[in-house]
Structure 1
Amino acid sequence: MLMKKLFLVLLMVLAVSLFFYFDLNKLLTLDGMKASLSTFEAWRASSPLLAAGLYFLIYVLVTALSLPGAAIMTLAGGALFGLLTGTIIISFASSVGALLAFLVSRYVLRDTVHAKFDGERLRAINAGIRRDGAFYLFTLRLIPAFPFFLINLLMGLTAIRAVTFYWVSQLGMLAGTIVYVNAGTQLAQLDSLSGILSPALLFSFALLGLFPLLAKKAVALIKRRRIYARWQKPAGFDRNMIVIGAGAGGLVSAYIAAAVKAKVTLIEAGKMGGDCLNYGCVPSKALIRSAKLAHQMRHADHYGLTGDEPRFSFKQVMERVHEVIGKVAPHDSVERYTDLGVEVLQGYARIVDPWTVEVTLNGGEVQRLTTRTIVIATGARPFVPPLPGIDEVGYLTSDTLWDAFARLDTAPARLVVLGGGPIGCELAQSMARLGSHVTQIEMAPRIMAREDEEVSALARAALERDGVRVLTGYKALRCEVKEGRKLIVVEHDGEELAIEFDELLCAVGRVARLEGYGLEELGIETGRTINTNEYLETIYPNIYAAGDVVGPYQFTHTAAHQAWYASVNALFGHLKRFRVDYRVIPWTTFIDPEVARVGLNEQEAKAQGIAYEVTRYGLDDLDRAIADGAAHGFVKILTLPGKDRMLGVTIAGEHAGDLLAEFVLAMKHGLGLNKILGTIHTYPTWAEANKYAAGEWKRAHAPKRVLSWLARYHTWRRG
């Protein structure tokens, strides 16, 4: 393939060199064309079909090779063949030549450009080209002042279809072709090309070039009017923005609105802070910390101390969890947001029309507020699988376990965790460390299935070391009560197994909260989540959504990330809109050892057909890991072949979530591993692992031939 590309490039270079070597470029000047016009006219008169065919081929060649002189060729076509015939010949010849240049650019250059630059960014550009490429290309073709040869080459690097490129070029270049061909019919009277494109004509072309964009705006306006047709828009508004939901997405949206002095109301029926503060991130990490300390006490001999079974009150552990929630709660409280300038209403919100929200306050009072924009940030709730008998035996979720466990004096003796994702793994390991006999059931062949197989294996080994019974490939069939014993029945390889438990924890995923907010009545499209465009707009351009209710990621930090786009677009989208950027999304599973990731892992790269190299650094080599007694795990980096540009990073080990931040920063700002290698990292710290991983990449890509020459040089220097 490479040899074919080189041969094609050499052939083109040779053709262009011969063109200039034989001074053929002089023929494609205005003076040269006028001087040769009589000869060409005589030839055309004697052999009209041959002249037309040869002219067509020459025009195609000039355009395909991006040679200077296409404008002169167009004038000559008008002089030789007249307005109608000349326009037909040149219209097709210019489009065919442009297509050839486009295809050559795609064949020779596109793979190289894609390998050079960030894959995620190019995918976003290509998605935009697929969506708006025809409009964009048509606009450029309507403005002759823009170099057409450059358009041909640049479009070849994008994902626009060749057929689309051809017909848009044929149509878009027609107006300019007619102008030049018509001018060519009066070639003898032309003194310069500036006589063709007067300022007034250029201005007209510029306006014509805006036509597709104006047409697109007009279509959007018509769609907007149709969407809002059945609603009566208020003459004025009580608020600039209403935010529904006070989780991470809602809090950030309200904060931004208040920061730019918009009048904003935040509505929350439950607890401020949403799932993360009250049921997710904060309580789970508090529990994980207590469980880890219990584990370290049990294995104190690993640190040269006397190990012993930790003595503790499970009720006190859960009291500490709730104390932690209480200490963090002021950050998300009504009082804080009121002080920031946000009006906070505690009650249930229902969208009545695109500009009106009805609020049923927790005290029973009902208010109706009008608003110019709305942000829906209602979050998600745990999914409970519809197993027969599950209600009879009772179950817990990540939302309900905290209050349920707070009432217990000891940890549940037998706990079944249904689900092998991050939540299930974190809680299974923590409860095992706190004394529960935990059985974890996962229907898939492995736990943490979104990670690479080696990460899943590492996680499973860690959980099993802590006493968790991990059952993968087991499908839950039903729950039942027999003689006062609570059982869950699972199936594996055609055989059923009954597992007795005291508590059943469902951790099989979360589903968006979509019901009760008026979405159905408004016709806002939903599936598993609210359907939005790249600006986080729903079908109503003034109603946005952010966070778990949108997806595709259900993390607190992505909810906050989306909230910036939703709120800024809601408040200022009439001036400038921003497409939400998902290029660099990190996440961490807080088992021990932690698993953190950003970008692609190996299984995703393979599934998407993306070429990559793997660089790996084992944490058993890191001095600080050895000193901390945690010399296990790894840093694994995927890069473009032969490049230090990162496609993704996976870290498994102590403090993995914190170590990942340096890679997230580097990927976000297009920095490669050489930059990380050239950064001073304090010794001895865990962060040195990032530098050593970068060093592994550098060592693998050392210039062996140069090093061989250097060895000879130093030998010579020694005499």
Structure 2
Amino acid sequence: MVGGYLAFDLGQWLHLATLQHHQKELQGWVDAHFIQAALAYFLLYVASTALSLPGATLLTLAGSALFGVAWGLLLVSFASTLGACLAFLCARFLLRGWVARRFAKPLAAIDKGLDAQGVHYLLTLRLVPLFPFFLVNLLMGLTRMPLRTYAWVSQLGMLPATLVYVLAGRELAALASTGQVLTPGLIGALCLLGALPWLGRALARRLTALRLARRWGKPRRFDYNLLVIGAGAGGLVTSYIGAQAKARVALIEAAQMGGDCLHHGCVPSKALLRSARVGLELRRVAELGFRADAQCNFAAVMERVQQVISQVAPHDSLERYRALGVECIQGRARLTSPWQVEVGTQRLSARRIVIATGARPRVPAIAGLDKVDYLTSDTLWSLRQPPAHLLILGGGAAGCELAQAFALLGVPVTLIEQAERLLPCEEPDASTLLAEQLGHCGVTLMLGAECLAATQEETGITLTLRQGERRHTITGDRLLLTLGRQPNVEGLGLEALGVALTEQGFIQVDETLTTSLPSVLAVGDVAGPYQLTHAAAHQGSYAALNALFGDLYPLRIDYRAIPHAIYTEPQLARVGLTTMEAAARGVPFERTRFAFAELDRALCDGEPHGFVEVLTVPGSDRLLGATLIGAEAAERIVPFTLALQHGLGLNQILATVHPYPTRMEGNRQVAGLWRRTHTSARLLTLAGRFHRWRRGAPSHPEA
């Protein structure tokens, strides 16, 4: 159809002078055959719009000139919408697949924005005549916006400009050019109309703020610019950045500064793992050429854990944060209004409040568990005598780390996981390799085992398990729960204020980390989606800036490159998508894997287990994700995190000089492997012929 348009020079009919010259003849045909003429005009308009041909303006003017304002508006309005939908579908079915493969990352970001505010964006594009409508049709077809939404918003959004042209068509004979229709003043009015959806949202937010102020009594003056509840990683970073921005900041903590990471999580577990790693090395002394007979002093190991906590604690102490300009308050906080907090007998007010109360170990509803003296990450560190047999419920990151650590310290460990494999969110090959290594360390794995009941007996703790159709029991003297963490939302007064929670019990936040109350934000484990110290710190920086300057320019938090690390031996780390996540989202990918058995440094260290695997956009070196399992994987994931965050590709990693021999070379090796598989075989053949020609050798390959 496009070819026919060009071949028959149909564009000659799409000029204002031509339409004016033939207006009387066309009017006579319309008067004599109104229905046929209306149908022909409608189909012509649909075809022109669907094929993105020029002439829509002239056709719109002709509509009212030939059929009158009412009929012209009706025909043009529906024909333009139908044609726009056909153009939209052409772009979707012909181009979206290619664009999704080539530009997966930016398209995903656009789709995410359209899911949240697509109606507002499209309505603005339709109302403002500065954006060519045919481009809007084609570009929106590349997104995942539903056709139904696109149709009704387009119908509504194109109506004002259509009415302007239809009204102008009444005076067709007097027009010198189509440019006369849209004067600068009229363009400005339509642009203002295009801003109405956004002005409406701003007005709605303002009305919400006024309603809250009337209901809760907004203070005229505030004690603080920023008030932070919870001194874990998220709260500490939020208050630190607020103080650096010269705001008046208060930090409220009911327990200990530093939160769970310092006292119950990251710091003590990594200190324990360091001692356990010595146990692993002692098992290999003969392999490395030594003789040794060192015995584990369990009490000394646990005392060292406490010493490490004491050494790290000054970094998160009251003294340090007070010196940084943060007012630290001890006590339990409860919100009494969107701007006020009670701490004991004190009532404090702030323009913005950030909730960073963290989470606690999740205790499942298992029959009899409430009568069992179980351990969690909060109580584990008081142990001074090694368990005779430690049962661990939960094969996630914490369960795997602690199971291996205790096993390497000489404690018999049984790790029970309800899923069919450990770490079900990680790459299957990586979790399988880690399971094998745990077995070599002495951990007994019970996979696909559901715990039905727990009983405290004189001989120890007995668990009733179901594996498939089989039921059986297992007994140990201590039970450790590592089944995830539950957000701390109780006692904060959130229900009375109407703060929305998710189905999982987290505080619901938007992309600016704001809750359902505009003056209250939330970060860290209490908000999700990641229960990681570095993710909480990342959120804290955004929360501080949005709390202080969000009225001027809100920042949407960037989750593109949040790395995950499991500190077992070997370590497992990943960033971005896994193959399972990519497949679930329908994201095309290519997979490239390099085994550490081929890495010189891994052979020198006697650590050949593991691999590095990268997912890339098909035909491109741009990263979608990376997974490493091997020695120091948590350190080696950083270059891939950097690349994913800043849009770098494998070619940049390959072009970066790495010292030899290092573990980090594995990253360069996988980039080189990707490059070799994407080098044109035909180009290499031509290069070979060129070099033979340069040697003066015969051109046939046998030479």
TM-score surpassing 0.5?
Answer: yes
Alpha-carbon distance in structure 1 between the residues aligned to 2:7 and 2:435: 71
Matched, 1:710 2:696: no
Question: What amino acid is the match of 2:474?
Answer: I
Structure 1 residues 629, 206: CA separation in 2 closer, same or farther (over 3 Å shift)?
A: same
Q: How much has 1:118 moved relative to structure 2?
A: 3.4
Alpha-carbon distance in structure 1 between the residues aligned to 2:369 and 2:125: 62
Q: How much has 1:519 moved relative to structure 2?
A: 1.3
Alpha-carbon distance in structure 2 between the residues aligned to 1:44 and 1:492: 79
Question: What amino acid is the match of 2:682?
Answer: R
Question: What amino acid is the match of 1:442?
Answer: E
Question: What amino acid is the match of 1:465?
Answer: H
Q: How much has 1:242 moved relative to structure 2?
A: 0.7
Q: In the alignment, is the contact (CA less than 8 A) between 1:617 and 1:689 conserved in 2? A: yes
Name 1:578's counterpart in structure 2. Answer: 555
Q: Deviations along 1:101-139, whole A, 9 cap, x unmatched?
A: 1111111111111111134x4333213213322222122
Name 1:11's counterpart in structure 2. Answer: none
Q: How much has 1:591 moved relative to structure 2?
A: 0.5
Question: What amino acid is the match of 1:72?
Answer: L
User: Which residue, out of 142, 158, 163, partners 1:157?
Assistant: 142
Matched, 1:666 2:643: yes
SS in 2 for 1:185: helix
Matched, 1:691 2:668: yes
Name 1:591's counterpart in structure 2. Answer: 568
Matched, 1:458 2:433: yes
Which is worse superposed, 178-187 or 17-26? 17-26
SS in 2 for 1:145: coil
Q: In the alignment, is the contact (CA less than 8 A) between 2:460 and 2:478 conserved in 1? A: no
Structure 1 residues 64, 389: CA separation in 2 closer, same or farther (over 3 Å shift)?
A: closer
Name 2:331's counterpart in structure 1. Answer: 347
Map of 1:189-228 to 2, 5 A cutoff?
189-228=174-213
- When normalised by structure 2's length, the TM-score is 0.95
Alpha-carbon distance in structure 1 between the residues aligned to 2:365 and 2:80: 64
Name 1:700's counterpart in structure 2. Answer: 677
Alpha-carbon distance in structure 1 between the residues aligned to 2:264 and 2:643: 32
Q: In the alignment, is the contact (CA less than 8 A) between 1:637 and 1:649 conserved in 2? A: yes
Alpha-carbon distance in structure 1 between the residues aligned to 2:82 and 2:475: 74
Name 1:275's counterpart in structure 2. Answer: 260
User: Which residue, out of 237, 240, 249, partners 1:264?
Assistant: 249
Q: How much has 1:558 moved relative to structure 2?
A: 0.7
Which is worse superposed, 226-235 or 693-702? 226-235
Name 1:332's counterpart in structure 2. Answer: 316
Question: What amino acid is the match of 2:377?
Answer: S
Alpha-carbon distance in structure 1 between the residues aligned to 2:659 and 2:125: 53
Q: How much has 1:54 moved relative to structure 2?
A: 1.8
Q: How much has 1:227 moved relative to structure 2?
A: 4.6
Question: What amino acid is the match of 1:145?
Answer: L
Name 2:24's counterpart in structure 1. Answer: 38
Q: Deviations along 1:33-70, whole A, 9 cap, x unmatched?
A: 22332332333334333222222222222212222221
Structure 1 residues 162, 388: CA separation in 2 closer, same or farther (over 3 Å shift)?
A: closer
User: Which residue, out of 575, 578, 582, partners 1:605?
Assistant: 582
Name 1:5's counterpart in structure 2. Answer: none
Alpha-carbon distance in structure 1 between the residues aligned to 2:27 and 2:469: 87
Alpha-carbon distance in structure 1 between the residues aligned to 2:519 and 2:468: 52
Q: Deviations along 1:510-533, whole A, 9 cap, x unmatched?
A: 111111111122221224211122
User: Which residue, out of 70, 81, 84, partners 1:84?
Assistant: 70
Structure 1 residues 321, 482: CA separation in 2 closer, same or farther (over 3 Å shift)?
A: closer
Which is worse superposed, 496-505 or 610-619? 496-505
Q: Deviations along 1:383-410, whole A, 9 cap, x unmatched?
A: 12333443544121111111x22xx2x4
Which is worse superposed, 36-45 or 623-632? 36-45
- When normalised by structure 1's length, the TM-score is 0.93
Alpha-carbon distance in structure 2 between the residues aligned to 1:29 and 1:595: 67
Matched, 1:123 2:108: yes
Q: In the alignment, is the contact (CA less than 8 A) between 2:363 and 2:483 conserved in 1? A: yes
Q: How much has 1:283 moved relative to structure 2?
A: 0.9
SS in 1 for 2:286: helix
Structure 1 residues 195, 495: CA separation in 2 closer, same or farther (over 3 Å shift)?
A: closer
Matched, 1:178 2:163: yes
Map of 1:528-677 to 2, 5 A cutoff?
528-677=505-654
Structure 1 residues 441, 33: CA separation in 2 closer, same or farther (over 3 Å shift)?
A: same
Matched, 1:390 2:369: yes
Structure 1 residues 687, 485: CA separation in 2 closer, same or farther (over 3 Å shift)?
A: closer
SS in 2 for 1:534: coil
Q: Which runs of 5+ in 2 are unaligned?
A: 698-703
Name 1:492's counterpart in structure 2. Answer: 467
Q: In the alignment, is the contact (CA less than 8 A) between 1:298 and 1:310 conserved in 2? A: no
Name 2:347's counterpart in structure 1. Answer: 368
Structure 1 residues 491, 96: CA separation in 2 closer, same or farther (over 3 Å shift)?
A: closer
Alpha-carbon distance in structure 1 between the residues aligned to 2:458 and 2:348: 56
Q: In the alignment, is the contact (CA less than 8 A) between 2:459 and 2:477 conserved in 1? A: no
Q: In the alignment, is the contact (CA less than 8 A) between 1:267 and 1:348 conserved in 2? A: yes
Name 2:41's counterpart in structure 1. Answer: 55
Q: How much has 1:228 moved relative to structure 2?
A: 4.8
Name 1:501's counterpart in structure 2. Answer: 476
Alpha-carbon distance in structure 2 between the residues aligned to 1:271 and 1:348: 12
Which is worse superposed, 224-233 or 461-470? 224-233
Q: How much has 1:604 moved relative to structure 2?
A: 2.2
Alpha-carbon distance in structure 2 between the residues aligned to 1:88 and 1:498: 76
Q: In the alignment, is the contact (CA less than 8 A) between 2:499 and 2:516 conserved in 1? A: yes
Q: In the alignment, is the contact (CA less than 8 A) between 1:105 and 1:153 conserved in 2? A: yes
Map of 1:427-446 to 2, 5 A cutoff?
427-446=402-421
Alpha-carbon distance in structure 2 between the residues aligned to 1:116 and 1:704: 22
Matched, 1:426 2:411: no
Alpha-carbon distance in structure 2 between the residues aligned to 1:475 and 1:376: 35
User: How many aligned residue pairs are there?
Assistant: 694
Q: How much has 1:414 moved relative to structure 2?
A: 1.8
Alpha-carbon distance in structure 2 between the residues aligned to 1:491 and 1:623: 45
Q: How much has 1:288 moved relative to structure 2?
A: 0.5
SS in 1 for 2:466: strand
Q: How much has 1:229 moved relative to structure 2?
A: 4.4
Structure 1 residues 296, 286: CA separation in 2 closer, same or farther (over 3 Å shift)?
A: same
Q: Deviations along 1:237-287, whole A, 9 cap, x unmatched?
A: 101111000000100110111111111100011111101111111111111
Alpha-carbon distance in structure 2 between the residues aligned to 1:459 and 1:667: 25
SS in 1 for 2:111: helix
SS in 1 for 2:332: strand
Q: Deviations along 1:570-604, whole A, 9 cap, x unmatched?
A: 21121111222222221100000000011121222
Question: What amino acid is the match of 2:110?
Answer: I
Which is worse superposed, 36-45 or 93-102? 36-45
Which is worse superposed, 198-207 or 622-631? 198-207
Which is worse superposed, 481-490 or 267-276? 481-490
Question: What amino acid is the match of 1:460?
Answer: A
Name 2:700's counterpart in structure 1. Answer: none
Q: Deviations along 1:121-171, whole A, 9 cap, x unmatched?
A: 433321321332222212221222321111111111122211221222222
Matched, 1:108 2:83: no
Q: In the alignment, is the contact (CA less than 8 A) between 1:545 and 1:566 conserved in 2? A: yes
Name 2:387's counterpart in structure 1. Answer: 412
Q: In the alignment, is the contact (CA less than 8 A) between 1:118 and 1:670 conserved in 2? A: no
Which is worse superposed, 447-456 or 325-334? 447-456
Alpha-carbon distance in structure 1 between the residues aligned to 2:131 and 2:580: 44
Q: Deviations along 1:590-620, whole A, 9 cap, x unmatched?
A: 0000000111212222333332221110001
Q: In the alignment, is the contact (CA less than 8 A) between 2:230 and 2:358 conserved in 1? A: yes
Q: Which runs of 5+ in 1 are unaligned?
A: 1-14, 361-365
Question: What amino acid is the match of 1:28?
Answer: L
Alpha-carbon distance in structure 2 between the residues aligned to 1:331 and 1:283: 15
Q: In the alignment, is the contact (CA less than 8 A) between 1:378 and 1:549 conserved in 2? A: yes
Q: In the alignment, is the contact (CA less than 8 A) between 2:452 and 2:466 conserved in 1? A: yes
CA RMSD across the alignment? 1.8
